[in-house]
Amino acid sequence: MLQLSPEEIAETLTMITQQHFDIRTVTLSLSLTGCAADSVDGVAERVYERVVRAAENLVPTCERLAREFGVPIVNTRVAVTPVAEIAPAGAGDLAPIAHALERAAQAIGIDFIGGFSALVHKGVGAADRALIASLPEALSTTERVCASVSVASTRAGINMDAVLMVAEAVRATAEATADRDGVGCAKLVAFCNMVEDNPFMAGAVHGAGEPDACVNVGISGPGVVRAVVRSLPEDADLTEVAEAIKATAFKITRAGELIAREAAARLGVAMGIVDLSLAPTPAEGDSVAEIIEAIGVARCGGPGTTTALALLNDAVKKGGAMGTSSIGGLSGAFIPVSEDAAMSRAAASGALTLEKLEAMTAVCSVGLDMIAIPGDTPVETVAAIISDACAIGVINGKTTAARIIPVPGKSPGDTAVFGGLLGSAPVMSVNEWAGTTLVRRGGRVPAPLASLRN
Amino acid sequence: MKTRAILSVLGEDRVGIVAAVSGALAECGVNIEDIRQTIISGVFSMTMLVTVDEDACAFDRVQARLAEVANDLGLQITLQREDVFRLMHRI
């Protein structure tokens, strides 16, 4: 017997056809621990074989799932063990491993593969150093490879030497992709409190505590939530707004849980996590900024923005927590400027500034994301921006990140165009009074007292 | 393998919609478990709970056959596994 009302069925169909309801990403997370070899070329060959063999059915399986369940799956991706962890000792240039990942991604038909990464929040090893030095070459000669570097954690503090190295890599990567507005930097993220099971790019890696392979899923984006908030009467109070978001988050999380379970079963791997992050796209209406505006802020970035974002982020978690017992990844709203059309507009109009984005970082994931800054911003200033984002994460015991693009040859008022899902963004002005001496001191900002919890 | 699915039909009311849809389902060996149907301001709306016997006819083949009916009669027809609706609307 039909135990669902026609209204409930119609609601789901409307969500899919009119409100961007989808599964944002199905990410196959793969361990590369069997791929170590004596030479970089040897590692590259094994990595290619491992990814192509393990993920050959990923795309067709997701296409079948999307058809059967009638829910679009927007992205299928692969995350791998941080490459620095399997690089041979004394290796020089690690770019050949990035090229192997690129070829593998191309062979299996995915748009991004994450894990050209190093974890250096407490100290920088020889392989880590080689990987960070390889970033400009790796990111400028590949399209699909995503890189990340963990530079801080609540347990270790902030490794300022690593922050400065990443800032130098960011500048060099921007220069190496100068003809495309520094797009290489869109695939490079610096993390504080990096997670091991994030399905979203550019920061997805396969963590050391994960099984050989698992499926991690990112839930639907902001379009559905925006539609629900907009449908509320203007005099609905904030508890009612939170309640409506919660109910919607439950529904979209359940769909994510179902897809994660089915995809894992069909691929013959473990089900990992469901990530409750609302991830915007440049598509009109699929915007976190528009949710903030629908809640009642004149333009994203204006006073009240942090409050609205905090309410949104918390309500999504509360609804999602009822929808799955496997919450993981970043699970917090994303605020990438170039990837969110309304956020980009808010930045262009001056309503949204770098400083406001930093405040917003404190109440959501994932920090200063996809921010275009002037191409001549000094390395020390880039480092100081990254370390400020890290400080918020370290002290508050949360993940923060920085994905900053110094756009070569462009200044505030210009627009950087990255294309596709990466969108476009106005070049934001940067405060000139940076902590140059602070970052040049180097060393480590000690872990906070809050980390001593045992 | 038997898969429970929700079939949803939406479009302008005309003679033969139920016949065409149920005929296509019968051809594919799909069993109809329940039907709800109504007309709202001339718009025909039908929701069915069906069981697809995937050993007799694969899910995507049933979808392809229904797409033909949708095309012939100018309707919107979707066939989706029931789990997605049940999980979204029930705790």
| Joined tokens for residue A239 | 């508890």
The one-letter code for the residue type at A400 is: T
CB-CB under 8 Å, A6 with B47: yes
Among 3.30.70.260, 1.20.120.420, 1.10.8.50, 3.90.420.10, name the CATH number for the domain at B2-89. 3.30.70.260
CB-CB under 8 Å, B84 with A12: yes
User: Concatenated DSSP letters for A418-432?
Assistant: --GGG-EEEPPP--S
Nearest residue of B to residue A251 by CA position?
Answer: B88
CB-CB neighbors (< 8 A) of A14 in chain B: none
CB-CB neighbors (< 8 A) of A2 in chain B: 33-34, 36, 47-49
The one-letter code for the residue type at A414 is: D
Task: Mark which residues 1-40 of B lie under 8 Å from A by CB.
Answer: 3, 6, 8, 33-34, 36, 38
Mutate to test the interface with B, among A9, A23, A318 (most CBs of B within 10 A): A9
pLDDT score for A412: 96
Query: Helix A305-323 and helix A288-295: axis angle, to 10°?
Result: 110
Q: How far off is chain A from B89, nearest CA to CA, in Å?
A: 7
- CB of B81 within 8 Å of a chain A CB? The answer is yes
pLDDT score for A367: 85
CB-CB under 8 Å, B38 with A70: no
| Joined tokens for residue A68 | 């059967």
Which among B63, B85, B87 is the nearest to A9, CB-wise? B85
Which are the contacts of B22, defined by CB distance < 8 A and separation ≥ 6?
B32
Which are the contacts of A372, defined by CB distance < 8 A and separation ≥ 6?
A181, A182, A337, A338, A405, A407, A410, A416, A425, A426, A427, A428
The one-letter code for the residue type at A180 is: R
CB-CB under 8 Å, A64 with B60: yes
Which are the contacts of A171, defined by CB distance < 8 A and separation ≥ 6?
A379, A382, A406
Number of C-beta neighbours around residue A301 at 10 A: 24
CB-CB neighbors (< 8 A) of B85 in chain A: 4, 8-9, 12
CB-CB under 8 Å, B88 with A251: yes
CB-CB under 8 Å, A9 with B6: yes
Sorted by where each begins, the domain ranges of chain A are: 1-441
pTM exceeding 0.90: yes
State whether the Cα torsion A382-A387-A390-A396 is positive or negative: negative
Contact in structure between A224 and A281 (CB atoms under 8 Å): no
If DSSP codes are grouped into helix, strand and coil, which group holds residue B55?
coil
Identify any residues that bridge with A76 across adjacent strands, giving them in sequence order.
A26
- CB of B47 within 8 Å of a chain A CB? The answer is yes
Contact in structure between A315 and A373 (CB atoms under 8 Å): no
Q: Rounded CA gap, A334 and A401, in Å?
A: 11
Angstrom distances, CA of residue B34 to CA of A52, A138, A143, B37, B46? 44, 57, 50, 10, 11
State whether the Cα torsion A114-A115-A121-A127 is positive or negative: negative
Which among A1, A9, A257 is the nearest to B33, CB-wise? A1
Q: How far off is chain A from B88, nearest CA to CA, in Å?
A: 4
Q: In chain B, which residues have pLDDT < 50?
A: none
CB-CB neighbors (< 8 A) of B47 in chain A: 2, 6, 9
CB-CB under 8 Å, B80 with A68: yes
Angstrom distances, CA of residue A217 to CA of A16, A26, A125, A305? 18, 5, 32, 28
Which among B3, B79, B83 is the nearest to A258, CB-wise? B83
Among 3.40.640.10, 3.40.605.10, 3.20.70.20, 3.40.50.720, name the CATH number for the domain at A1-441. 3.20.70.20
Q: Where are the beta strands (DSSP E) in A144-186?
A: 145-153, 157-159
- Residues of A within an 8 Å Cβ radius of B: 1-4, 6, 8-13, 64, 67-71, 251-252, 254-255, 257-258, 322
CB-CB under 8 Å, A322 with B78: no
Query: pLDDT in tens for each of the 454 residues of chain A?
Result: 677 888 888 888 888 888 888 999 999 999 999 999 999 999 999 999 999 999 999 999 999 999 999 999 999 999 999 999 999 978 789 999 999 999 999 999 999 999 999 999 999 999 999 999 999 999 999 999 999 999 999 999 999 999 999 999 999 999 999 999 999 999 999 999 999 999 999 999 999 999 999 999 999 889 999 999 999 998 999 999 999 999 999 999 999 999 999 999 999 999 999 999 999 999 888 999 999 999 999 999 999 999 999 999 999 999 999 999 999 999 999 999 999 999 999 999 999 999 999 999 999 988 899 999 999 999 999 999 999 999 999 999 999 999 999 999 999 999 999 988 899 999 999 999 999 999 999 999 999 998 998 9
CB-CB neighbors (< 8 A) of B87 in chain A: 254-255, 257-258
Radius of gyration of chain B, Cα coordinates, nearest whole angstrom: 13
Contact in structure between A221 and A20 (CB atoms under 8 Å): yes
CB-CB under 8 Å, A13 with B81: no
